Structure 1
Amino acid sequence: MLQWLSDWFWQERLWFPEGLGWADLQDRDGRVYAKASDLWVTLPIAFAFLVIRQIFERVVATPLASLLGVREKVRLRAAHNPTLESYYCSKSKQPTQSSMESLSKQTGCSVRQVQRWFRRRRNQDRPSLLKKFREASWRFTFYLLAFIAGLAALIDKPWLYDVKEMWQGFPVLTLLPSQYWYYMIELGFYASLLFSVASDVKRKDFKEQIVHHVATIMLISFSWCVNYIRAGTLIMLVHDASDYLLESAKMFNYAGWKNTCNYIFILFAAVFIVTRLVIFPFWIMYCTWVYPVTLYPPFFGYYFFNGLLLVLQCLHIFWAVLILRMAIKFLTNNETVEDERSDRDETDESVEEEEEKEHEEKKMNGPVRNGHPATNNNHHKAE
């Protein structure tokens, strides 16, 4: 059964134009071609990235956070309450008003105290500022190095300047060592992100991030197996061009360098729009959709590859809307750029106001004794 599935999946008519097949990608005459078995190398690379990340975050990112002045917000901890904790863990972190009233009766606390407890308890579960900074610094380092490495690997290649060169001689395109390592390292990194997604900071676009990682891994793997490597290297370079700017903006935001964060974010928004909404669809996708059919009839692999690119482009549009919304808010109102995908800490401002009112009432009514205000006997004799 497994052999039948394997034979069906790898049949040549699915992945190659008519008249071409796997035999054309056999190493010969000193020419080396990409092979599906090479992808196993990405698994140890992914685990190596996980180890390197842990070392980097402790040895590099943590001291850097201290150097840049990353300061943790003081979070008030929720008092130990088994009833509220049980409800929080098993039912809901955001109880309704009726649930609040029911919990108030069960615990003997006021509704306001229950609201305060849940607010503080949710804040306890939110990732710390240091955790966010370390994660951003790790991604910034990789994306920057990957972009530099990709640019160095492609700077002398003709398909960087004329995208039609991606398909000249396809699929008999010799694999270069720089392409091999560029692919393996990129694929290994995205695999490591997928492995660590459970422990990473969860944002509002968590599901979109999962779709992006899976689509990227499938796209890189597929383009490797069927020798779409020239197109793959261009796609990876375009994606790496803006990602490191976003991560650096996050780092400065967490450090409290608001102006620096804002300027870098505006630069990131400009690069993102140009690379993801102009270069990617109108140069790269245009060449993968239109030009190949002038060379050979469409086949399943052609539709599959472009379908994955279309998924990525839909995600680009989704993120572009968020980015433009933040950029417009900053430019029109001169506000600080905030990541709309991140959950913000819930402040105790309303609670603090209530406590201040209670404090003022106590001052007005005098000290409390046994639950009753003490009588003020300090009357002047003239009264």
Structure 2
Amino acid sequence: MLAWLSDVFWDERLWFPKGLGWKDLEDRDGRVYAKPADLWVVLPMALTLMVVRQIFERTLGIRLAALLGVKATKRLRAAPNPTLEAFYCKTTKYPTQSSVESLCKQTGYTQQQVQRWFRRRRNQDRPNLLKKFQEASWRFTFYLLLFVGGLAALIDKPWLYNLEDMWKGFPVLTLLPSQYWYYMVELSFYASLLFSVASDVKRKDFKEQIIHHVATILLISFSWCVNYIRAGTLIMLLHDSADYLLESAKMFNYAGWRNTCNNIFILFAAVFIITRLVIFPFRILYCTIVYPLSMYPPFFCYYFFNALMIVLQCLQIFWAVLIIRMAVRFLTSNEKVEDARSDKEETDDSAGEEEEEEMKNGGVKKNGPVQNGHIPHNHNNSHHKME
């Protein structure tokens, strides 16, 4: 059964146009070609990057944070209480008014004390400012290195300037050492992000991040297997051109450098829109859909590759809407740049004000379930700090 599945999966009719096959990509006459077996190196490289990341965040990340004045958030811990802890872990982190009253009877706490306990307990599970800065500094460093490395690998290549050249000689395109390492490092980095996404800072677009990482890994891996190397390097370079700007904006936001953060974010928004909503769909995607048809009839992997490209483009439109919304709000009101993907932290500084409001209203807010003194979370109306 496994042998049959392997034969079906690697059937040349799926991977290549008619008349071409795996034999055309065998090394000969000093010419080296990309092979599916090369991708196995990604697993140890991804695991290595995860180790390097931990070392980076605990050394250079902390030093950079100290240099910019970023410190770990000090939070009051919730007092140990088995009843409240069981409710928090097994039922909900945001108890309703009736639940608060029931918990008061079980614990002997007042409503204010129960609400304060849940606020502090939720804050214990939230990553502190230093952790957010460390993650952003790692991604900034690696995205910048990827962009510089990709630019160095492509700056002298004719298909960077004339996109039609990316298909000349396909699929018999020689693999260059710079292309090999660009691909392996890029793919390993996204694999490491996928492996660590569960332990990273959670955002509202968690599911979209998973889809993005999976689609990106599939896209890069697939383009490698069918020797879409030239198209793949262009796509990676295009995406790397904006990501490091966003991570640097986050770093300055955590450091409290408001003007620097806002200016970098506006620059990021401009680069993102130009590269992801203009160049990618109207140049790159056009070339991957239209140009190949002038050379060979469409086949399965042609459709599969472009389907992944369209999924990627849909995600980019989703993020562009969030980015444009934040940029417009900033430009029209000169507010601090915020990220609609992030949950606002219930800080200890605001706790006193919330408790005073709770006392005025008899211990709870007037509207809806008790959520630590906050109006129930609404994805459409929340305004949150950039994470």
User: Which residue number in structure 2 is paired with residue 140 of structure 1?
Assistant: 140
> Aligned AA for 2:202?
K
User: Which residue number in structure 2 is paired with residue 17 of structure 1?
Assistant: 17
User: Which residue number in structure 2 is paired with residue 92 of structure 1?
Assistant: 92
Trace 1:104-253 onto structure 2 (pairs within 5 A). Answer: 104-253=104-253
Give me the whole-angstrom Cα distance separating, in 2, the residues matched to 1:296 and 1:12. 15
Give me the whole-angstrom Cα distance separating, in 2, the residues matched to 1:233 and 1:69. 38
Give me the whole-angstrom Cα distance separating, in 2, the residues matched to 1:289 and 1:7. 27
**Alpha-carbon shift at residue 199 of structure 1 (Å):** 1.3
User: Which residue number in structure 2 is paired with residue 301 of structure 1?
Assistant: 301
SS in 1 for 2:346: coil
> Aligned AA for 1:329?
R
User: Which residue number in structure 2 is paired with residue 75 of structure 1?
Assistant: 75
Distance 1:355 1:90, change over 3 A: closer
Give me the whole-angstrom Cα distance separating, in 2, the residues matched to 1:194 and 1:111. 41
Task: Answer whether contact 2:73 2:130 (CA < 8 A) is retained.
Answer: no
User: Which residue number in structure 1 is paired with residue 329 of structure 2?
Assistant: 329
User: Which residue number in structure 2 is paired with residue 291 of structure 1?
Assistant: 291
Task: Answer whether contact 1:116 1:348 (CA < 8 A) is retained.
Answer: no
**Alpha-carbon shift at residue 311 of structure 1 (Å):** 0.7
Give me the whole-angstrom Cα distance separating, in 2, the residues matched to 1:267 and 1:74. 33
User: Which residue number in structure 1 is paired with residue 339 of structure 2?
Assistant: 339
**Alpha-carbon shift at residue 72 of structure 1 (Å):** 3.3
Task: Answer whether contact 2:104 2:114 (CA < 8 A) is retained.
Answer: yes
Task: Answer whether contact 2:112 2:358 (CA < 8 A) is retained.
Answer: no
**Alpha-carbon shift at residue 51 of structure 1 (Å):** 1.2
| CA displacement 1:174-230 (0-9 Å, x = unmatched) | 000000000000011111111111211111111100111111111111000010000
> Aligned AA for 1:251?
M
**Alpha-carbon shift at residue 76 of structure 1 (Å):** 2.3
Task: Answer whether contact 1:136 1:248 (CA < 8 A) is retained.
Answer: yes
**Alpha-carbon shift at residue 296 of structure 1 (Å):** 1.0
Give me the whole-angstrom Cα distance separating, in 2, the residues matched to 1:138 and 1:74. 23
> Aligned AA for 1:109?
Y
> Aligned AA for 1:3?
A
Give me the whole-angstrom Cα distance separating, in 2, the residues matched to 1:47 and 1:128. 25
Distance 1:287 1:89, change over 3 A: same
Distance 1:358 1:221, change over 3 A: closer
**Alpha-carbon shift at residue 113 of structure 1 (Å):** 2.0
**TM-score of the two chains, using structure 1 as the length reference:** 0.91
> Aligned AA for 2:177?
P
Distance 1:79 1:19, change over 3 A: same
**Alpha-carbon shift at residue 354 of structure 1 (Å):** 6.7
SS in 2 for 1:64: helix
| CA displacement 1:339-365 (0-9 Å, x = unmatched) | 221222114567514766999xxxxxx
Distance 1:127 1:169, change over 3 A: same
Larger Rg: 1
Query: Which 5+ residue runs of structure 2 have no aligned equivalent?
Result: 360-387
User: Which residue number in structure 2 is paired with residue 3 of structure 1?
Assistant: 3
Query: Which 5+ residue runs of structure 1 have no aligned equivalent?
Result: 360-383
SS in 2 for 1:220: helix
Distance 1:193 1:358, change over 3 A: closer
Alignment length (residue pairs):
360
User: Which residue number in structure 2 is paired with residue 270 of structure 1?
Assistant: 270
**Alpha-carbon shift at residue 111 of structure 1 (Å):** 2.0
> Aligned AA for 1:261?
C
Task: Answer whether contact 1:140 1:248 (CA < 8 A) is retained.
Answer: yes
Give me the whole-angstrom Cα distance separating, in 1, the residues matched to 2:60 and 2:117. 36
Give me the whole-angstrom Cα distance separating, in 1, the residues matched to 2:350 and 2:194. 39
Give me the whole-angstrom Cα distance separating, in 1, the residues matched to 2:38 and 2:258. 45
**Alpha-carbon shift at residue 33 of structure 1 (Å):** 0.3
| CA displacement 1:286-316 (0-9 Å, x = unmatched) | 0001111111111100000000001100110
Give me the whole-angstrom Cα distance separating, in 1, the residues matched to 2:121 and 2:278. 44
State the Cα RMSD in Å.
Answer: 1.7
